[in-house]
Structure 1
Amino acid sequence: MRTTEQPVLQDIVLVGGGHSHVGVLRRFAMNPVPGVRLTLICRDTHTPYSGMLPGYVAGHYSFDDVHIDLSRLAEFAGARFYRDEVTLIDRANRQVQCRSRPPVRYDLLSINIGSTPSVAHIPGALDRAVPVKPIHRFDRHWQALLNRVQQNQAPQAIAVVGAGAGGVELVLAMQYRLQRALAELGRAPDALRFLLLDAADSVLPTHNDKVRQRFTSVLAERGIEVHLNTRVVAVDAGALVTEAGQRIATDEVLWVTSAGGPAWLADSGLAVDERGFVRVRDTLQTETDERIFAAGDIAHMINHPREKAGVFAVRQGPPLADNLRRLALAQAPRPYRPQRNWLALISTGDRYAVASRGGWSASGRWLWRWKDWIDRRFMARFNELEPMAMDSAAADTRAARSDDDAQQAISALAMRCGGCGAKVGGTVLSRALAQLQPVERDDVLIGLHAPDDAAVLTVPPGKATVHTVDFFRAFIDDPYLLGRIAANHSLGDIFAMGAEAQSATAIATIPQGIESKVEDVVFQMMSGAVEVLNEANCALVGGHTGEGQELALGFAINGLIDPQAVMSKAGLAAGDSLILSKPLGTGTLFAAHAQLAARGRWIDGALASMDQSSRAAAQCLRAHGARACTDITGFGLLGHLVEMVKPSGVDVELEIDRLPLLEGAEETVAAGILSSLQPANTRLRRAIRDQQAWVAHPRYPLLFDPQTAGGLLAGVPSGHAEACVAELRQLGYQQAAVVGRVVTRSGEPEPVTLLCRT
């Protein structure tokens, strides 16, 4: 996380990761404004660059070639990245409502979510047609279709509805790729028909005659059936129904026309045009609310309407960033006028392109090479990033504006007390916690529902109490997700013992700031934590929240257990199989994330793993006869394994090639990127027999990788191991695996023997 002593005064929230917003992030990275905090909310971690998508479909580019990694870009810009989908803007309270997390507050808001083909008014289209946007859904369908063709299960006909530039490029790119797949199978390329349909009387109706004529010829040469003046009014099984009553046979339907905006924009009270696009002034501020901006395809410039083309979204990035900056500094925004004519380079599937600008046109392979150079240079600006030190950035020396209450709070920051004076204010805490609903338990006599100096709990007859505590500083900029992961991490020790969680007491440090911002951080963080605690039927009974330089969170957890059914570290027995419930690699991945060296999807996978509770895994392991169990956290796999081996009086054989790993972990370790705790953990290498023979193994460093909210490592009787792993995977622990076995103590000083079966 990037930290600063400057308190947050203005929250700028960016909804969507479109071409304009990636430009905003980069400009703020180059020239941040003190007191301004950026938050990006986007459903997808990787946002596609529209100019390269036809080349991706045609097979000229890889997935990473044509996608901007928003996770890395946000980290580069010092912005918070929330992977979620916005469902409404609560303008009265200046909050963005999301599908899967608490509302997010804003001072300024910008919307850049692109457009989506509207098919709801076409009977059958929702079920039988695939809109090309959002791209991530189209890509899943496209990969499945490509796989079917490669498996010799090709459909007979594919129809693309929409003969604008997007539809024409798509049908040509698909044909190019699929015909080559058919040829590799020894099938005739013309075994698969392609159709292009549009209600207009020509292809590419917004381009000049030369361009239209050129593509009319190309489509004819490629054998693509073009149906113009053909309005599709329904999609039936195996056929498109036209306005004239004609039925056109097809097996696949892709929709690239009639784009519009989502209903939640109008539901938020924003003025939209007849297609649902947000009406914006020349400053890119919405017609309805000067605190809300819109750009790219989702925006309709009232005074300068333009075609929906990626070039306009890219060009709107700089003026959008400048106007967001100006409003944050209490300055008047400046108008922006888009160009009337623009250069479009339209590909023909193969490495050939046609240029179109106004009435001018040209074509050739040299144009495709030029386009490829332009596109790759554009992508490099957002994907080839190097970490920037805060003091090296050309930061704007002017601080963001704030209201009178904020100014008073800022003045007080310089005179903060220590000791109990460093506690977060009671009013702030009470407002934040009042919005939470911790689970209530009958055995909690005094807790948050009846606050006192301490919580009071009862212990049922025949039960023993289990106590544990965990605490760590934030490693991500999302306080809600931090709360969930911190709670899962702290509960892990309870579950590993075979206990049920009873109560939790929180301890947190919150960076100093104005009350409204501190309150929001507390609310977001504790919302995530309480969700996880409630799922575990663990009552949050109190806590302590103080001010500090960095965000940090931990919990003291009480649990209840049958004293006769404890899964301790000392319970391993010869003949047990070692089962690991979750993959390894969080330490190296987040070290790489801080260095902008991890792909966003790797971080997504790591976060999803850390966000998964070990409660069900512990119950499964116990049901299959586990006698010893521990959770893998800061000491890494080897450190926690040694803690089990010594008191159990056994040796273990660990199969290094069977260790489940998070995607990207081997790559980051191979690059020499390790957690700061790794050197201390590596001292335990003396527990490995013949360890020098294993130092060069690519997975060797991951034995020492510290984990956050890691999996459970348990000894299960070997006869139950296979069934146990199968059940774990059914429960959602998809990478659960047998990673070794317990053997009789050999008398050698090193209790761990590494094996590699491959």
Structure 2
Amino acid sequence: MMKSSEIVLRDIVLVGGGHSHAVVLKMLGMKPIPGVRITLICRDTHTPYSGMLPGYIAGHYSYDDTHIDLRRLAEFAGARFYRDEVIGIDRSRQTVQCRHRPELAYDVLSINTGSSPNVSAVVGAAQHAVPVKPINGFNDRWAQLLASITAGHSSSSPYQIAVVGAGAGGVELALALQHRLGSMRDSSAQPVAITVFGKEKSLLPQAPSALGKQFAEVLDTRGIRYVLGTAVSQVSERTLSTAGDGATYAADTTLWVTEAGGPAWLGGTGLDLDDKGFIRVTETLQSVNDPRIFATGDVATMIDHPRPKAGVFAVRQGKPLAINLRRYVENRSLFRYRPQRNWLALISTGDKYAFASKGRFLARGAWVWRWKDWIDRRFIARFSELPTMDEQPAAAQHNIALSSEENSQAISAVAMRCGGCGAKVGASVLSRAISSLKPVEREDVLVGLHAPDDAAVLSIPPGMALVHSIDFFRSFIDDPYIFGKVAANHSLGDIFAMGAEAQSATAVATIPQGLESKVEALLFQLMSGAVEVLNAAGCALVGGHTGEGQELALGFAINGLIDPATVLKKGGLLPGQKLILTKPIGTGTLFAAHARLAAKGRWIDAALESMVLSSQAAASCLRRHGATACTDVTGFGLLGHLVEMTKASGVDARLDLASIPVLEGALQTSKLGILSSLQPANVRLRRAISNQAESLDHPLYPLLFDPQTAGGLLAGVPANSVDQCVAELRRLGYAATVVIGDIQAMGDQLAPISLRY
């Protein structure tokens, strides 16, 4: 795993979470390349293993059985995980364009995105067919399809499913679907009929003819119809037409398992592509016309060794790809990979029965399915059972190919670093990094980044008061853009909680030392995310300070404006009010677990989505509904911040443990004893709970002390308006908003908080 103190000399960017890249991450996690930073960009956090998808559809496997957790795997490998979609490459500038974030620079690029459905040539297919590929994102499409098929149609005529594609993928899908739907259907449900369409004259045209004939017998026995030797020419909402005879077939759902091509965005890259849009690569797995770009799996075509698009080749290409990425950055000769001429094909029939084929070898039976199941489970286990890694040697001991200028910068970066102002990030690096940022402009900012000076100058409108707050912390996530958004959102929370309008922000950032180009790129990513959040809040970035340090860190001093008569303080709680919480808790335990590879990637995704959700609209809503006290739940945890409010207000509070919203996975990780390093300090506040002895065994009890980052707002709202307030907050996007307790007059007991469950 790459250490935070290690100088980044080269960036390898992996586009797509296919099987080859999963193997690369595992291998580089076991033996990292010192001085090289890995970044994985993928739309999905969990990527399905194609070999197990038919079993998943048939109902033999769970979601986690069949999916590789890419975020967890990247954390193991010391790689950055960017959840986004690539939409282009600028090869001249060596940057990758993403749909939702700033462009990312690379020294070496590898593409393993799989293929995309080529439905544009068939009328209506883009609008009415459900593509099986790309397999990332497949689970959402499958869930929607399953819901539509099992919606409880009243008709006695069969629900018609058309599977377009009579290769192994289409036939296996049809059999798995039939098994799953047959096992779910009761006597009153609508029957299902499946038809497989193929333009070739036989089933499984790329397999030995004997295998195709045996699968024809299976389809006949199972009552699955197949129409061969004619291409599909048109797809409509409920029908499908073929070109050869012009016949029309009923099709309530059309699944597209054929005519795949390369992603459309590859067409604008200037890479050498074949006639289907796949990247043409050599035996070294490099692009024919750009040696800095590698490609594997379905998205690539080996010019000297053409092979069918099958997952087995993507898996086999993973090891040579990892070897060549290492050799490329170390300026060594590359390994030439030659795929096998014959390969083992294991094709299931949906009912725990399978066929095996390799060359002239052909076998079938339940034992073949058990063999396939063993192979598939062993493959998935490679990426779920991750060992603990030891410290790795320093980058200076390794042969990373650098230019003379880069070598000078690297020597400077590892030299004894100065303190004081000598620890600042260089002015030219800083100016280049922020030159393309466009902070929001405000009339009350008299001197700011638009005309930099020794300090910012702001005016305060008559009758308004100044609200000031500061927050700063080190990065807890490997994505500087997302970290920038969270840090800015967290810093704004105090301003919003008091009912103020954010006016200006001054940044304080710590950036690990390194090559100027790497420092500049990191700073640009970091501040792009932050400025995006600040601008959305109408808050002008007016200046800041950036210095060198061992770890990435960011914070903001925020100025806000408020009418002094409308300030929401912690001390405004009143007896009879209801307590509202606008976001779920659990970020502390989840990110502690993430660092220990004990959290699922989708749990971290959900936590980050909560953390980047601004509380600005929530604060306005709370004020409209009569809130008299408010605070944002952050480092002291839910209980710590509630104690502050009850103490300042002179009231008692009752919390309903069962109603407190919790992020997915937080109960599981806290139950394992994986807690934030701040938890012990927060637990000292347990004396504020009047009935803590009875509450210790409740599963949610530890989360009362869990420190939050960019947490929700905790507010006291009159009981007669709380229902309308909660409903409006949910409409505004705060879906987890709930009443978690009520406020009472101060009693005789010293502990002001009691728990109900």
Q: Same fold (TM over 0.5)?
A: yes
CA distance in 2, matches of 1:542, 1:63: 47
The corresponding residue for 1:73 is: 73
Q: How does 1:488-567 map to 2 (within 5 A)?
A: 488-567=489-568
Cα distance in 2 between the residues matched to 1:519 and 1:237: 51
Moved more, 9-18 or 262-271: 262-271
2:176 pairs with 1:173: yes
What CA distance in whole angstroms lies between the structure 2 residues aligned with 1:255 and 1:623? 51
Kindly state the Cα deviation for residue 245 of structure 1 after the two structures are TM-superposed: 1.3
Structure 1 residue 386 displacement after superposition = 3.4
Q: Give secondary structure in 1 for the equivalent of 2:287.
A: coil
Work out the CA distance in 2 between the residues paired with 1:411 and 1:153. 71
For 1:530 and 1:395, the matched residues in 2 are separated by: 33
Task: Kindly report which structure 2 residues correspond to 1:89-104, keeping only aligned pairs within 5 A, or say none.
Answer: 89-104=89-104
Please give the secondary structure, in 1, of the residue aligned with 2:571: helix
1:752 equivalent in structure 2: 753
Aligned-partner Cα distance in 2 for 1:280–1:629: 59
| 1:527-551 residue CA offsets vs partner (Å, 9 max, x unmatched) | 0000000000100000000000000
Q: Deviations over 1:675-712 (max 9, x none)?
A: 00000000000000120110110000000000000000
Measured against aligned partners, the alpha-carbon deviations of 1:637-665 in whole angstroms (never above 9, x if no partner) come to 00000000001010001001000111111
In 2, Cα distance between equivalents of 1:148 and 1:438 = 46
Normalised TM-score (structure 2): 0.98
- For residues 150 and 38 of structure 1, the distance between their equivalents in structure 2, rounded to whole angstroms, comes to 43
Q: Does 1:577 align with 2:578?
A: yes
Aligned-residue offset at 1:239 = 0.8
The equivalent of 2:164 in structure 1 is 161
The residue type paired with residue 104 of structure 1 is L
Residue 27 (structure 2) pairs with residue 21 (structure 1): no
Compare 382-391 and 78-87 and name the one that shifted more.
382-391
Deviation readout 1:249-276 (Å, 9 max, x if unpaired): 1111000000101121121110100000
SS in structure 2 at match of 1:390 = coil
Residues 377-398 of structure 1: CA deviation (Å, up to 9, x unaligned): 110010112332324x899952
Distance 1:389 1:519, change over 3 A: same
Q: Secondary structure at the match of 2:352?
A: strand
* Residue type at the aligned position of 1:70: L
Deviations 1:25-74 (A, max 9, x none): 11111111111000000000001100000000000000110000000000
C-alpha deviation, 1:188, in angstroms? 7.6
Kept in 2, the 8 Å contact 1:31–1:394? The answer is no
Alpha-carbon distance between aligned partners in 2 of 1:403 and 1:507, rounded to the nearest angstrom: 32
Q: Does 1:596 align with 2:569?
A: no
Between the aligned partners of 1:598 and 1:298, the Cα distance in structure 2 is: 31
Q: Which runs of 5+ in 1 are unaligned?
A: none
The letter of the residue matching 2:11 is D
Q: 1:367 to 1:397 in 2, by over 3 A?
A: farther
Matched residues, number: 752
- Equivalent-residue separation in structure 2 for 1:750 and 1:518 (angstroms): 50
More displaced, 420-429 or 203-212? 203-212
Report the CA distance between 1:3 and its aligned residue.
2.8
- Partner residue of 2:238? 238
> Which secondary structure state, in structure 1, belongs to the residue aligned with residue 249 of structure 2?
strand
Q: Counterparts of 1:25 and 1:647 in 2: how far apart (Å)?
A: 51
- Give the superposition deviation at 1:123: 1.0
Please list, as runs of the form range in 1=range in 2, the aligned pairs for 1:666-677 lying within 5 A after superposition: 666-677=667-678
List per-residue Cα deviations over 1:328-358 (Å, max 9, x = no partner): 0011212110101100100001001000112
Partner of 2:62: 62
Measured in 1, the distance between the counterparts of 2:143 and 2:266 equals 31
In structure 2, the residue corresponding to 1:476 is in which secondary structure? coil
Contact 2:4 2:512 in 1 (8 A): no
Using a 3 Å threshold, how does the CA distance of structure 1 residues 140 and 6 change in structure 2: closer, same or farther? closer
CA distance in 2, matches of 1:370, 1:525: 48
Q: State whether residues 631 and 712 of structure 1, in contact with CA within 8 Å, keep that contact through their aligned partners in structure 2.
A: yes
Query: Distance between the aligned counterparts of 1:389 and 1:627, measured in 2?
Result: 53
Aligned partner letter, 2:530: A
Q: CA deviation at 1:238?
A: 1.4
Are 1:30 and 2:30 an aligned pair?
A: yes
- What is the aligned partner in structure 2 of residue 107 from structure 1? 107
Partner Cα separation in structure 2 for residue 137 and residue 553 of structure 1: 33
For 1:349, what is the secondary structure of its paired residue? coil
Contact 2:86 2:99 in 1 (8 A): yes
Deviates more, 1:606-615 or 1:145-154: 145-154
Corresponding residue of 2:8: 8
TM-score, normalised to structure 1, is 0.98
Q: Percent identity?
A: 63
Distance in 1, matches of 2:251 and 2:744, equals 62
Distance in 2 of aligned mates of 1:586 and 1:266: 41
Question: Match of 1:477?
Answer: 478
After TM superposition, the structure 1 = structure 2 runs for residues 201-216 of structure 1, keeping only pairs within 5 Å, are 201-216=201-216
Cα distance in structure 2, aligned partners of 1:141 and 1:472: 39
8 Å Cα contact 2:429/2:519 also seen in 1? yes
Q: Do the aligned residues in 2 keep the contact of 1:30 with 1:395 (CA within 8 Å)? A: no
* d(CA) in 1 for partners of 2:312, 2:565: 69
Counterpart Cα distance in 1 of 2:236 and 2:399: 59
Corresponding letter in the other structure for 1:156: Y
Say which SS state the counterpart of residue 273 (structure 1) adopts.
coil
* Matched residue, 1:331: 332
1:404 deviates by: 1.2
Question: Which SS does the other structure have where 1:451 is aligned?
Answer: coil
| Superposed displacement of residue 148, structure 1 | 4.4
Whole-angstrom CA distance in 2 between matches of 1:397 and 1:175? 58
Is 1:311 paired with 2:312? yes
Counterpart-to-counterpart distance in 2, 1:108 and 1:139: 31
The structural deviation recorded for 1:137 is 4.5
3-state SS in 2 of match to 1:467: strand
Which amino acid is 2:474 matched to?
R
1:2 offset after TM fit, Å? 5.3
Is the contact between residue 31 and residue 395 of structure 1 (CA under 8 Å) also seen in structure 2? no
Q: CA RMSD, aligned part only?
A: 1.4
Report the equivalent of 1:657: 658
